[in-house]
Amino acid sequence: MEIKLFRKGDIAVIVFIVIAAIAFAYFSFSGSKNLQAVITVDGEIIETIDLSSVKERTVITPDTQPKVVIVAESGEIRFESAECEDRLCVNTGSLKKGGDTAVCLPAKTVITVEGSDVDAVVY
């Protein structure tokens, strides 16, 4: 009596899993993320930036008190500097994924990243 290691059904399942893994890797790592950064000051939208189209360093200085400097670079945006005491907005770091938010409360400035950004947590 001969024992087979794999049956026809086992091979079909293995092939399906490999194809699904390749498709997941392709869609996860392709650079086609449609992310937009929305900058609001005192509840008013002052600028919307398509992060996928930013090729060079772009500096935005909204008319706020205290002064803040916002920098958009390839696929990310951040508060570069702020004249407020705590600088929590600067310590937030770069915003790169959909749903990321940074706020400078003294300047009433909010940066929100919107758009489709699928990762392993999102189904």
* Domain boundaries defined on the chain: 34-116
Kindly list the distances between the CA atom of residue 42 and the CA atoms of 18, 39, 110, 111, in Å, as whole numbers in the listed order.
50, 10, 8, 12
The 10s digit of each residue's pLDDT in 54-101 is 989 999 999 999 999 999 998 899 999 999 889 999 999 999 988 899
Give the three-class secondary structure for 105. coil
The 10s digit of each residue's pLDDT in 19-61 is 999 888 776 665 546 889 999 999 999 999 999 889 899 999 9
**Level-2 CATH architecture, domain 34-116:** Sandwich (2.60)
Q: Is residue 118's pLDDT more than 70?
A: no
Whole-prediction pTM: 0.68
Mean pLDDT of 1-7: 70
Residues present in the chain in total = 123
